[in-house]
Structure 1
């Protein structure tokens, strides 16, 4: 496994769980397992999208589409759980944090020549 994929699969669920814990009214999952499932699904979708589209010259467009995909996964994926409540503001806050993580992760990979098979086609 590559550094990029490992970090996505660790940080995405952590971000969703922390947003659930620290949000009073915008994000509520009944259990940590629900937040973990959403976080892992976000990581899977972002990794697949990155594998398909992330190459030199597509940095910003990939980041924008990562934002849109993450927003859809968090907002609509949370509707899978009957007791979960994620408002639009809550979904946006999770999405902004995950997109910032992706942005800094991609910058770090490019700067340190740690491009992986997923990040350097």
Structure 2
């Protein structure tokens, strides 16, 4: 009888000691995946992410065309979207885009801005 009482007393002591502690369970696969994703996102914060292509509109006068090189030179008014003052500069342009204009034409144009310059994507006589 004493051994039964001793076993009960030891069992109650063990249960009482464990009452204040939470049982630790192994982390779920979802928790591991979430943690890995958070670490990956944190390390990506230092990477340069691609930016959206900027576009701008302008107007000016055609001063030169070099279809073979795919260039058109425009004396243009200020282009605020690019942060450019009025100036004369050469732009990339596909031959099909510049087929309809000649030197001296007053034009309006759309630009795809890239690497400090731009490419004329559309051009129209005024």
TM tier, smaller: under 0.3
- TM-score, structure 1 normalization: 0.22
Q: Which protein has the larger Cα radius of gyration, Structure 1 or Structure 2?
A: 2
User: Higher helix fraction: Structure 1 or Structure 2?
Assistant: 1
- TM-score, structure 2 normalization: 0.22
User: Higher strand fraction: Structure 1 or Structure 2?
Assistant: 2
